[in-house]
Amino acid sequence: VIIADINDTKANETLKLLKGPNHTAIHTDVSVRENVTHLFQTVQKIYGTVHIVINSAGIIQRPTLFTNTSEAEFDKVLSVNLYGTYLVTQAAVTMMLKNENATGRTILNIASVSSKGGRRFLSSYSASKGAVISFTKSVALEVALKGIRVNTILPGFTDTPMTQDTPENVRKGIIAEIPMKRIAKPLEMSEVIVFMCGPRSTYMVGSAVLVSGGTFL
């Protein structure tokens, strides 16, 4: 397993959770092409190729009215959430296609429930994740015949470090909109990710799977 993360501390924490010796953490800013190039050069050097890629890098803006969102803030969110997904996916597909038979190779992009119904005060985040879905479907159509499956999941509000700083009043408002009346556990997302990347989903191509506790059906 290669863990590509801009946060070296978190990457090494994840590394310690993995069994076996053949895992590597690489400092990577997915919004910088040179970083992504270095990442895949390292993958090729250590492992030769790549079979599964999960694009999970993402940032969220500070909640604010669209009219108060600066260009710099909008660009920053899109540079990580969309442009980063593009860079990693492009490098991954290029590497996968170097093999005569790419059957079984999988790319999973992490979008968001916000991309389906929008979210007030999160215009740049919602826009970036909506674009990830369209991008995923387009790439999936291009590489399906090569044996590469590209899909996306749309997680609902999940208990992760990115959401733990959410103000309590906002948190309660979000939970009130969820039919199950609770936020998701990380394990509930990881189980879906394992399924989407594994042998039980081999006929799923360009799918956008909603994992939201019933939000935005």
- Predicted confidence (pLDDT) per residue in 88-127, tens digit: 999 999 999 998 789 999 999 999 999 988 888 889 999 9
Q: Which residues lie across from 208 on neighbouring strands?
A: 152
Fill in the amino acid letter for 25.
A
Rounded to an integer, the average pLDDT of 61-86 is 94
Element spanning 187, H or E: helix 186-197
Q: Is the pLDDT of residue 194 over 90?
A: yes
- Find the radius of gyration of the CA atoms of the chain: 17
Using the Cα atoms of residue 63, residue 65, residue 70 and residue 76 in order, give the sign of their dihedral: positive
**Per the structure block, which two tokens stand in for 103?**
């059957």
Triad 174, 177, 183: Cα angle to 5°:
55
As a whole number of angstroms, the distance between CA 151 and CA 133 comes to 8
In this prediction, residue 100 carries a pLDDT of 78
pLDDT of residue 165: 79
> DSSP strand E in the chain: where?
2-5, 24-27, 52-55, 106-110, 149-155, 208-211
Asked if the model's pLDDT at residue 164 lies above 90, the reply is no
Q: Domain 2-211 carries which CATH code?
A: 3.40.50.720
Per domain, the residue ranges of the chain are: 2-211
Is 125 an annotated catalytic residue?
Answer: yes
Percent of the chain predicted with pLDDT > 70 = 100
Residues making up the chain, counted from first to last: 217
Instruction: List b or e across 42-54, with b for residues whose CB sees 16 or more CB atoms inside 10 angstroms.
Output: ebeeeeeebebbb
DSSP 79: I
pLDDT of residue 78: 98
Residue pair 82/123 in contact (Cβ under 8 Å)? The answer is no
Which of 83, 86, 125, 203 is flagged as catalytic?
125
Q: DSSP letter at 185?
A: P
